[in-house]
């Protein structure tokens, strides 16, 4: 069936009375100013599909459990390692399914899972079981997945892996690439396979260059970048380069590259990322929760980079709160409103988020994914909002219907089959007391 929308709000503005014809999960044709037909799925106000461009699904275990500990990012990281130690393919599937269900019912239609829990706790390999578990979890709830399979080789610059990090590592860049290329043929479950270098802390300079050269140009390549000042200090001490300069010299920076966080940058770093046309994934709720800082989002966009948003540790799963965090953090940092135009905010959540996950055509464009989110434009939160500013007033509670590939996958807070994400989360979290 075709999809008819009373109003479509995207980065180009507002269109009225729009019909989308879809085939194979993609938009085949778009008609504007037409009446609905009897066989159409009829929707109200919609936006294009929203991409969660950076997620660590298993971090959801820590929600509401670490605040009393205090400390900083490094203190929090110890709790994260403890959660990772409890994962096996069965529990990972169950947890990821629950987290992806929460995402899709909240209004996310695609996710980039930054995945590095590859092996058993002692580092002995699983035959791609962890990766396939994540892919199966996404398929089971109907969210699009780009599995960002991640290289993780050291415990810090010039430091060996700690025992708790062994299961993340393939041992060398060559071994990582061998496993990655084998996985490309085996991941299955409709997932796209991307790649990631965890960080300049976790992958040496020569290995970063080897990995970048060993992947074809169509593969999205992500990396955590300058999330903490200590990373910058260690990188400059070891290499005489900032992390961004190191990535540039290693051949990473290009239009296929995505830097996550990019919080503590120099002016030169911003220029390099902008000149490369790289994507930047800001994760406002995580960057606030962990005390990371506020990154130079406006400066990066003005320099030529593209912005996207991610939920990272999944302490909050709400695409509307995450996206308007871009603007709110800018207001806090600069004491001014309107740092981003509404269209720029929406483009980050939709078109450019999908681009960072390897999609060359944006959702709801001919040839692009037939992915969209119907928003309740008459709720207590949204009533009176200009259509172009709904991303600044709505929350996940206003995601009425979520459509991926032309098919309804979630409606009014539940999956298409009526399953509650809360029940899935309840069952999954029993494994993590």
Catalytic positions, written as ranges: 261, 312
Measured distance CA(346)–CA(385) in Å, rounded: 15
Tokens 């990766």 belong to residue: 131
Tokens 């989110």 belong to residue: 373
Q: Is 28 exposed, middle or buried (CB count within 10 Å of its CB: 0-12, 13-18, 19+)?
A: middle
Paired with 7 in beta bridges are 16, 45
Tokens 């593969």 belong to residue: 219
DSSP letter (8 states) at residue 335: S
Measured distance CA(402)–CA(410) in Å, rounded: 5
401 within 8 A of 376, measured Cβ to Cβ: no
Measured distance CA(303)–CA(290) in Å, rounded: 27
Q: Which DSSP string do the residues of 69-128 spell out, in sequence order?
A: G---HHHHHHHHHHHHTT--HHHHHHHHHHHHHHHHHHTEEEEEEEE---S-TTSPPPSS
Tokens 């085939």 belong to residue: 23
Q: List Cα–Cα distances, 285 to 67, 94, 110, 313, 344, in angstroms.
A: 14, 24, 18, 9, 19
417 within 8 A of 104, measured Cβ to Cβ: no
266 within 8 A of 242, measured Cβ to Cβ: yes
Tokens 């994400």 belong to residue: 421
């Amino acid at each position: 069936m075709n999809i008819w929308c009373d109003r479509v709000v995207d980065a180009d503005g507002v269109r009225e009375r729009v019909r989308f014809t879809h085939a194979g999960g993609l938009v085949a044709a778009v008609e504007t100013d037409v009446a609905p037909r009897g066989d159409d799925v009829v929707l109200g106000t919609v936006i294009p599909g929203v991409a969660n461009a950076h997620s660590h699904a298993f971090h959801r275990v820590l929600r509401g459990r670490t605040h009393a500990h205090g400390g900083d990012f490094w203190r929090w990281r110890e709790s994260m390692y403890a959660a990772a130690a409890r994962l096996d393919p069965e529990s990972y599937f169950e947890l990821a399914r629950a987290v992806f269900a929460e995402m899709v019912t909240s209004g996310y239609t695609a996710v980039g899972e930054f995945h590095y829990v590859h092996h058993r706790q002692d580092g002995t390999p699983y035959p791609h079981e962890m990766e396939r578990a994540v892919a199966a979890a996404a398929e089971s709830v109907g969210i699009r997945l780009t599995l960002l399979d991640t290289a993780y080789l050291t415990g810090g610059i010039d430091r060996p892996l700690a025992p708790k990090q062994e299961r993340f590592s393939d041992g060398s860049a060559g071994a990582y690439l061998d496993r990655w290329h084998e996985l490309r043929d085996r991941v299955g479950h409709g997932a796209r396979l991307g790649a990631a270098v965890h960080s300049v802390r976790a992958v040496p300079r020569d290995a970063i260059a080897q990995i970048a050269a060993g992947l074809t140009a169509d593969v999205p390549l992500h990396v955590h970048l300058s999330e903490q000042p200590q990373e910058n200090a260690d990188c400059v001490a070891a290499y005489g380069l900032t992390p961004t300069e190191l990535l540039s010299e290693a051949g990473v920076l290009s239009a296929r590259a995505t830097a996550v966080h990019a919080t503590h940058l120099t002016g030169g770093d911003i220029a390099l990322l902008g000149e490369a046309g790289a994507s930047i994934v800001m994760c406002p709720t995580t960057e606030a929760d962990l005390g990371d800082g506020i990154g130079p989002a406006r400066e990066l966009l003005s320099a030529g980079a593209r912005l996207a948003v991610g939920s990272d540790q999944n302490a909050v799963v709400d695409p509307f709160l995450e996206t308007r965090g871009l603007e709110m953090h800018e207001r806090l940092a600069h004491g001014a409103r309107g740092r981003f135009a509404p269209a720029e905010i929406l483009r980050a959540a939709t078109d450019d988020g999908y681009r960072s996950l390897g999609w060359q055509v944006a959702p709801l464009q001919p040839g692009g994914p037939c992915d969209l989110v119907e928003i309740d434009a008459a709720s207590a939160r949204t009533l009176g909002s200009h259509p172009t500013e709904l991303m600044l007033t709505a929350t996940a509670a206003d995601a009425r219907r979520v459509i991926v590939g032309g098919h309804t996958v979630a409606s009014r807070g539940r999956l298409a089959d009526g399953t509650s994400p809360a029940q899935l989360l309840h069952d999954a979290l029993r494994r993590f007391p």
